[in-house]
Amino acid sequence: MSRPALTAVFTFSTTFCSSDIASAFPVVPAIECDMRAGKISLPEFIVKCPANCRETKEKVYGTGVFASISSICNAAIHSGAITNSGGKVIVMKMAGQAIYKGSFANGVRSLSLPNWRESFSVSGSVDLTLNKHLFTSFHDSNGFYSHLVFVDCNVDIALLMDGSWSIGKRRFKIQKDFLVEVSQVINVGVAGPMMGIIQYGDDPVTEFSLKQFSSSKDLKTAISKIVQKGGLSNVGKAISYINKHFFSDANGNRGGAPNVAVVLVDGWPTDKVEEASRLARESGINIFFVTIEGPDENEKQNVMETNFVDKAVCRTNGFFSLSISSWFALRKEVQSLVKRVCDTDRLVCSKTCLNANDIAFVIDGSSSVGTGNFRTVLQFVSNVTQEFEISDTDTRVGIIQYTYEQRLEFAFGQHNNKADLLNAIKRINYWSGGTSTGAAITFAADQLFSKSKPNKRKIMIVITDGRSYDDVRAPALAVHRKGVIAYSIGIVWAIQDELEYIATDPDRDHSFFVDEFDNLYKYVPKIIHNICNEFNSQPRN
């Protein structure tokens, strides 16, 4: 679940060895002063800034957290990560912000920006200023810092290990060692990440559930005792298993923490993964694939489902997949995998059709509706609302009642749990008056959607029983252009043309007509289905 961004400084008294930093962050060759963060596609990396970047006056947007159109080096000077003499900088990407505030610091003037699609933070090689990922460290047997340990990673993780005969005993042992290291780095605990392991072959078996172990130390012992099951490499069956059985309340699923499944595959699956993965994604499970020693050109003909990784993961942009050339290189990918798994801002599958919306109900309160029918409309609104996950970080609901005039009954986020929201809906009083639907849509854009969160889907549901006294076309087109998905529900005397103007295309999915108020309830499942179907059909690239 998406949480507010957290930026913190954790300063170590001892400098990390360069090999430790390099193993955790890929290094980009030396850059020029004008290089923008958005031009480098890696989620985190180290760059070396040249001297005298401050004199170039390249633009910077934001303070502490910068828009990705900013110069990396000037942002680093502004934040104090380096001086004007240059130096190495750690760059961490993060989600876009609703606003970036400008300021003057260290000789660099940063500018304000209303919003941008991607952000980044910068830090020097000793002070790690990281968004959401606070690190600490521990000594190895030689007294050196050998690991970075995540201490802010609130996810529920299922690790699917390959137990098929093709992997062999030696590589199975390497896989267990890898899982042990992941469990140590991720810092398992009830206040942070919880981890369970499933071994798959012919059939999946839960080695231990999420709630079985609450410390990395206990996990290490448990993993070391896992015995190889053998069989085929039925990955699709394993993904279906975790979707149906693993992430349950009984097994320790916490609900508020994103669900993550990391699938390790030796070679390739012996069954199909696409359908099982689609259902898992639609349940909110973020699927990561780690493929080791995949098929070579001669073996590709044996692959059951070509391009199986892209068919399985939440996004096909490379973030959710790691391709490892050799089992002996697997350990080097621990930090890279854990940083991705813990980046809750980018766990897009945690955003489902039921928790990722700002929904505005625009309700006709005109004289033709009447008190009794108005209560029926409110019951319909409650029935639709009941289906969504309601909180400040999940779906939010706002309501406007209109006649000739408009009244904001309550705004997005004003009622942040379902019980309060449903009670607030019951308390809405019938107004009575004329019917100016166009003005109500404009009012919704100004009073509700202007305050919508950047990562929310904006949905408007207009309910009316008659012809509007004003034009609905221009207001409807304006909200469509702002990305609002509009549904129209007409009752009794509503005009079909107006309903279609209000609705987002195609009309058949977004516009409905009801012959009487008492039949409104029949359209609740249809509206929920269409909202979810539209959400789940979004491109995954």
User: In this predicted model, which residue has the larger pLDDT, 385 or 255?
Assistant: 385
List the structure tokens of 495. Answer: 């005009």
pLDDT at residue 130 greater than cutoff 80: no
pLDDT at residue 146 greater than cutoff 50: no
pLDDT given for residue 2 in this prediction: 31
How far lies 397's CA from each of 8, 58, 348, 465, 528, in Å? 32, 42, 21, 22, 15
Sheet holding 44-49, edge to edge: 44-49, 87-95, 118-123, 65-67, 62-63
pLDDT given for residue 19 in this prediction: 41
Query: What pLDDT digit, counting tens, does each position of 8-50 carry?
Result: 222 222 333 444 444 456 777 778 998 999 888 788 888 889 9
Which region, left, alpha or beta, applies to residue 284 given φ > 0 means left and ψ of -120 to 50 means alpha? Answer: left
pLDDT given for residue 25 in this prediction: 63
User: In this predicted model, which residue has the larger pLDDT, 79 or 362?
Assistant: 362
How far lies 301's CA from each of 213, 304, 305, in Å? 41, 8, 10
- Interatomic CA distance for residues 443 and 437, integer angstroms: 10
β partners of residue 158: 196, 261
User: Residue 35: what residue type?
Assistant: M
- Interatomic CA distance for residues 223 and 197, integer angstroms: 8
pLDDT given for residue 429 in this prediction: 97
CB burial of residue 41 (10 Å; 0-12, 13-18, 19+): exposed
List the structure tokens of 410. Answer: 């309550």
Radius of gyration of the CA atoms of the chain, in A? 26
- Interatomic CA distance for residues 111 and 103, integer angstroms: 7
Q: What percentage of the chain exceeds 70 in pLDDT?
A: 89
β partners of residue 108: 105
Q: How would you write 46-63 as a 3-class SS string?
A: EEEECCCCHHHCCCCEEE
pLDDT given for residue 184 in this prediction: 87
Work out the average pLDDT over 309-318: 90
Q: Mean pLDDT, the chain, as a whole number?
A: 86
List the structure tokens of 474. Answer: 């221009």
User: Residue 513: what residue type?
Assistant: F
List the structure tokens of 41. Answer: 């596609």
H/E run at residue 146: strand 145-150
- Among 25-29, 180-184, 227-231, name the most confident range: 227-231
pLDDT given for residue 192 in this prediction: 78
How far lies 510's CA from each of 252, 351, 352, 502, in Å? 38, 22, 19, 9
pLDDT given for residue 493 in this prediction: 92
Residue whose entry in the numeric block shows the structure tokens 């780690």: 290
User: In this predicted model, which residue has the larger pLDDT, 317 or 431?
Assistant: 431
Any idea what DSSP says for residue 451? G
User: In this predicted model, which residue has the larger pLDDT, 2 or 348?
Assistant: 348
- Interatomic CA distance for residues 442 and 170, integer angstroms: 66
Helix (H, G, I), strand (E, B) or coil at 432: coil
β partners of residue 159: 197, 262
pLDDT at residue 473 greater than cutoff 60: yes
pLDDT at residue 417 greater than cutoff 60: yes
- Interatomic CA distance for residues 198 and 191, integer angstroms: 22
User: Residue 501: what residue type?
Assistant: Y
Weakest mean pLDDT among 73-77, 182-186, 343-347: 343-347
pLDDT at residue 370 greater than cutoff 90: yes
Q: What is the DSSP string of 106-142?
A: TTEE-B-BS--SEEEEEE-SSEEEEES--EEEEE-TT
Any idea what DSSP says for residue 27? B
Name residues whose C-beta falls within 8 Å of residue 477's C-beta, 6 or more positions apart in sequence: none
- Interatomic CA distance for residues 345 and 401, integer angstroms: 34
- Interatomic CA distance for residues 294 and 284, integer angstroms: 27
- Interatomic CA distance for residues 21 and 260, integer angstroms: 26
pLDDT given for residue 343 in this prediction: 86
- Interatomic CA distance for residues 517 and 505, integer angstroms: 25
pLDDT given for residue 10 in this prediction: 29
User: In this predicted model, which residue has the larger pLDDT, 410 or 186?
Assistant: 410
Work out the average pLDDT over 333-353: 86
List the structure tokens of 386. Answer: 């009941």
How many C-beta atoms lie closer than 10 Å to residue 30's C-beta? 12
Query: pTM, whole model, 2 decimals?
Result: 0.59
Query: What pLDDT digit, counting tens, does each position of 106-124 carry?
Result: 889 899 888 888 899 888 7
Weakest mean pLDDT among 55-64, 134-143, 528-537: 134-143
Query: What pLDDT digit, counting tens, does each position of 99-108 carry?
Result: 888 888 888 9
pLDDT given for residue 132 in this prediction: 39
Question: Dihedral of CA 516/522/524/529: which sign?
Answer: negative
CB contact at 8 A, 379 and 393:
no
Q: What is the DSSP string of 343-407?
A: -GGG-GGG--TTTSEEEEEEEE--TTT-HHHHHHHHHHHHHHHHTS-BSSSSBEEEEEEESSSEE
pLDDT at residue 129 greater than cutoff 50: no
How far lies 175's CA from each of 227, 331, 419, in Å? 12, 9, 46
List the structure tokens of 532. Answer: 């979810």
- Interatomic CA distance for residues 226 and 38, integer angstroms: 43
pLDDT at residue 92 greater than cutoff 90: no
pLDDT at residue 267 greater than cutoff 90: no
List the structure tokens of 487. Answer: 């549904």
pLDDT given for residue 206 in this prediction: 96
- Interatomic CA distance for residues 256 and 2, integer angstroms: 9
In the chain the domains, ranked by start, together with CATH numbers, are: 7-134 (2.170.130.20), 153-349 (3.40.50.410), 357-536 (3.40.50.410)
Query: What pLDDT digit, counting tens, does each position of 496-529 carry?
Result: 999 999 999 999 999 999 999 999 999 999 999 9
User: Residue 84: what residue type?
Assistant: N
Work out the average pLDDT over 318-341: 89
Any idea what DSSP says for residue 187? T
- Interatomic CA distance for residues 361 and 379, integer angstroms: 12
- Interatomic CA distance for residues 137 and 481, integer angstroms: 49
Q: What is the DSSP string of 83-112?
A: BTTBEEEEEEEEE--S-B---EETTEE-B-
pLDDT at residue 141 greater than cutoff 60: no
pLDDT given for residue 482 in this prediction: 94
